[in-house]
A and B are shown apart, each in its own frame.
Chain A
Amino acid sequence: MTATTSAPSTGLDVPLERGPAATFLRESHIVFRRQLRMNLRNPAWVIIGMLQPVLYLLLFGPLLEPLIDQFGATNAYTFFVPGMLVQLGIFGAFFAGFSLIGEWREGVIEAERVTPANRTALLVGRLYRDLLQLCVQALILVALGWALGMRASAVGIVIGVLITLLLGGACAAASNALALTVKSEDVMAPVINMIMMPVLLLSGILLPMTIGPDWLVRVSDFMPTRHVVDAVRASFAGDFAFSALGWGIAWSVGMFVLAVWWGTATFRRENA
Chain B
Amino acid sequence: MIHARGLVQTFHTKRGRQREEVRAVDGVDLDVSEGEVVGFLGPNGAGKTTTLRMLTTLLRPTAGTATVAGYDVATQSVEVRRRIGYVSQAGGAFSGARAGDEVVDHGMLYGLPQRLVEERGKALFEQMDLPGLWARMPKNMSGGQKRRLDIVMGLIHEPKLVFLDEPTTGLDPQARANLWEHIRGLRDRLGVTVLLTTHYLDEADALSDRIIIIDQGRIVASDTADNLKAQVAGDLVDLEVHDPAQLSAAAERLATLVPGPGGVEVVDRHVRARVPRAGRSVQGLLRDLDAASIELESIEVLRPTLDDVFLTLTGRSLREAEAASEQVGGTGQDETDPTAAGASTGAPTATPVTSSPTTTEGAHR
Q: A1-B182, A111-B88 are in contact. Are A10 and B160 (CB under 8 A)?
A: yes
Q: A42-B96, A105-B90 are in contact. Are A114 and B73 (CB under 8 A)?
A: no
Q: Chain B: how many interface residues by the 8 Å CB criterion?
A: 65
Instruction: Give the complex CA separation of A42 and B109 in angstroms.
Output: 24
Partner of B111 from the list A10, A16, A105, A109 (CB cut-off 8 Å) is A16
Q: A110-B90, A113-B58, A114-B81 are in contact. Are A34 and B97 (CB under 8 A)?
A: yes
Partner of B89 from the list A34, A107, A116, A270 (CB cut-off 8 Å) is A107
Asked if B344 is at the interface of the complex by the 8 Å CB criterion, the answer is yes
Asked if B112 is at the interface of the complex by the 8 Å CB criterion, the answer is yes
Contact B191 A116 (CB under 8 A): no
Instruction: Give the complex CA separation of A11 and B344 in angstroms.
Output: 34
Indicate with 1 or 0, residue by residue over B78-98, a CB within 8 angstroms of chain A CB atoms. Answer: 100111101011111111110
Contact B189 A38 (CB under 8 A): no
Instruction: Give the complex CA separation of A93 and B67 in angstroms.
Output: 41
Instruction: Give the complex CA separation of A111 and B342 in angstroms.
Output: 12
Contact A38 B97 (CB under 8 A): yes
Question: For chain A residues 1-34, which have a beta carbon within 8 Å of chain B?
Answer: 1-5, 7-12, 14-16, 18, 23, 26-27, 30-31, 33-34
Asked if A104 is at the interface of the complex by the 8 Å CB criterion, the answer is yes
Contact B342 A7 (CB under 8 A): no
Instruction: Give the complex CA separation of A22 and B330 in angstroms.
Output: 44
Instruction: Give the complex CA separation of A110 and B86 in angstroms.
Output: 9
Contact B59 A2 (CB under 8 A): no
Instruction: Give the complex CA separation of A202 and B148 in angstroms.
Output: 52
Partner of A2 from the list B81, B83, B91, B127 (CB cut-off 8 Å) is B127
Asked if A106 is at the interface of the complex by the 8 Å CB criterion, the answer is yes
What B residues does A116 contact at CB under 8 A? 78, 81-82, 109-111
Instruction: Give the complex CA separation of A2 and B148 in angstroms.
Output: 13
Asked if A103 is at the interface of the complex by the 8 Å CB criterion, the answer is yes
Asked if A271 is at the interface of the complex by the 8 Å CB criterion, the answer is yes
Instruction: Give the complex CA separation of A232 and B316 in angstroms.
Output: 68
Contact B110 A5 (CB under 8 A): no
Q: Chain A: how many interface residues by the 8 Å CB criterion?
A: 47
Q: A33-B105, A107-B90, A114-B86 are in contact. Are A272 and B77 (CB under 8 A)?
A: yes
Contact B97 A37 (CB under 8 A): yes
Contact A8 B90 (CB under 8 A): no
Q: A1-B182, A183-B344, A184-B344 are in contact. Are A108 and B59 (CB under 8 A)?
A: no
Question: For chain A residues 106-137, which have a beta carbon within 8 Å of chain B?
Answer: 106-117
Q: A1-B185, A42-B96 are in contact. Are A8 and B190 (CB under 8 A)?
A: yes
Instruction: Give the complex CA separation of A103 and B341 in angstroms.
Output: 9
Asked if B339 is at the interface of the complex by the 8 Å CB criterion, the answer is yes
Contact A8 B108 (CB under 8 A): no
Asked if B157 is at the interface of the complex by the 8 Å CB criterion, the answer is yes
Q: A34-B101, A37-B97 are in contact. Are A15 and B92 (CB under 8 A)?
A: no
Smallest CB gap from B84: residue in A:
A114
Instruction: Give the complex CA separation of A8 and B124 in angstroms.
Output: 12
Minimum CB–CB distance for A6 against chain B, Å: 9
Asked if B65 is at the interface of the complex by the 8 Å CB criterion, the answer is no
Interface centre among A3, A26, A41, A272 (most CB of B within 10 A): A272
Contact B78 A108 (CB under 8 A): no
Contact A106 B153 (CB under 8 A): no
What A residues does B182 contact at CB under 8 A? 1
Partner of A105 from the list B56, B57, B338, B342 (CB cut-off 8 Å) is B342
Asked if B181 is at the interface of the complex by the 8 Å CB criterion, the answer is yes
Instruction: Give the complex CA separation of A16 and B117 in angstroms.
Output: 13
Contact B88 A107 (CB under 8 A): yes
Q: A1-B185, A114-B58, A116-B111 are in contact. Are A8 and B94 (CB under 8 A)?
A: no
Instruction: Give the complex CA separation of A2 and B181 in angstroms.
Output: 11
Asked if B74 is at the interface of the complex by the 8 Å CB criterion, the answer is yes
Q: A115-B109, A183-B344 are in contact. Are A106 and B91 (CB under 8 A)?
A: yes
Q: A11-B157, A106-B93, A272-B77 are in contact. Are A3 and B123 (CB under 8 A)?
A: yes
Minimum CB–CB distance for A162 against chain B, Å: 30
Q: A116-B81, A183-B343, A272-B59 are in contact. Are A2 and B113 (CB under 8 A)?
A: no
Asked if B192 is at the interface of the complex by the 8 Å CB criterion, the answer is yes
Partner of A11 from the list B92, B105, B158, B181 (CB cut-off 8 Å) is B158
Instruction: Give the complex CA separation of A111 and B155 in angstroms.
Output: 12
Contact A3 B90 (CB under 8 A): no
Smallest CB gap from A34: residue in B:
B105
What B residues does A23 contact at CB under 8 A? 111
**Hey, which bits of chain B sit against chain A, CB under 8 A?**
54, 56-61, 73-74, 77-78, 81-84, 86, 88-97, 101-102, 105-106, 108-113, 116, 123, 126-129, 150, 153, 157-160, 181-182, 185, 189-192, 338-347
6 A-B residue pairs with Cβ-Cβ distance under 8 Å, sorted by A, are A5-B189, A102-B94, A108-B93, A111-B91, A115-B106, A272-B61
